[in-house]
Amino acid sequence: MNYPAIALASSSPRRRELLAQLGVNYKLVKADIDETVLPAEAAAVYVQRLALAKAHAGLARLQHDLPVLGADTVVVVDGLILGKPADFEQFRQTMLLLSGRSHQVMTAIALVSAKHQLTQLVSTDVTFRVLTEAEIRAYWATGEPQDKAGGYGIQGLAGRFVQRINGSYSAVVGLPLCETEQLLQQWQELS
């Protein structure tokens, strides 16, 4: 399907790779935003707010009339949003929290222009097997967890920790392909 060219407001190489799978022509646009969680803000509200904020920040930087796609992903357990680990101890606590249980990965996408705005939220349940202290230390030593929401990348070395997934694998990676394609189709109908 031929989709309109868009701008992608993301620095994530994983999102670029996933968007390329849809055959979408895109240009990258920088979208620096404040990612602070607001007091008492629910994870679903937070991740949707950030996706929209990134898309709008990208739109403000554009000199073309392209729709802008923003996305954000959070890892949630017991209602707690698990961000990127600041250091090993925070990472270790996160892995111990995820070990041997299920958590949710929420990815929100937003496609915006001066005239239109479409959003979608995708939630996926991910279950980790029980992790040992040695596995946690070894995974941290790879350097992979440092820039990942929840301290892991399912598409990387942490894939071996995943016992089960219920939902969208690509959403856990950072961009739900099915829902992104649906958003692009809806966009074409608006144009």
Q: Which residue has the tokens 């915006």?
A: 112
Q: Which amino acid is at 111?
A: L
Instruction: Pick the closest to residue 120 from 37, 182, 173 (CA basis).
Output: 182
Q: Of 65, 72, 87, 147, which is the active-site residue?
A: 72
Q: Does the active-site annotation cover 72?
A: yes
Contacts 24+ apart (CB under 8 A), 28-36: 29/58, 29/61, 29/62, 29/68, 30/58, 30/61, 31/55, 31/57, 31/58, 31/61, 31/68, 31/70, 32/57, 33/57, 35/72
**Active site residue ranges:** 72
